[in-house]
Structure 1
């Protein structure tokens, strides 16, 4: 029987990396993001998309000057939109913490 990590059981490696990137980008929401991600896989698609878009931004920034790569701004916009979507999701889904 194959051993699988929690990341493999609860989502892809890309989703986990995207979660980590978002936790660095949105430190005020770090704890809530971790808890929501552990309770539900509904954010995994956003986490995966964020991992891919932010990795692309990093790669383009490293490889080319900004004026040589018009797609860089587009990917930065995608990252900002995903961040906004995640913030809205977190704010709409309060954690049920017992008193």
Structure 2
């Protein structure tokens, strides 16, 4: 059963990656690593959104969170493209 953060992260990723929606839904049922990445994406993207609203935050910090979100998204795409047969 996914945590609240994992579920929210999954929803965000499904909106961001519409071509992988079905695959993500199927894989998160049995892939705990993917669920962890969904939770991490939720946390990082929520923090990024908050930082972008704060005019006092240094742009380097924002870029760091943008990079983190992109890296998590890349890992999710890689897992999704491996398909269910290659899941751990």
Q: Do 2:44 and 2:69's aligned partners in 1 also have CA atoms closer than 8 Å? A: yes
Of the two, which has the highest radius of gyration?
Answer: 1
Aligned with residue 80 of structure 1, among 70, 73, 81: 70
**2: CA distance, partners of 1:65 / 1:87:** 33
Taking the aligned partners of 1:33 and 1:63, their CA distance within structure 2 comes to 32
Q: TM (normalized to structure 1)?
A: 0.77
Alpha-carbon distance in structure 2 between the residues aligned to 1:91 and 1:19? 16
Structure with greater helix percent: 2
**CA–CA distance in 2 between the matches of 1:21 and 1:84?**
14
Hey, what does 2:21 align to over in structure 1? 30
Unpaired stretches in structure 2, ≥5 consecutive residues? none
Structure 1 segment 9-48 matched on structure 2, within 5 A: 10-48=1-39
Give the structure-2-normalised TM-score. 0.86
Equivalent pair of 1:60/1:69 in contact (CA under 8 Å) = no
Structure 2 Cα separation of the partners of residues 43 and 93 of structure 1: 12
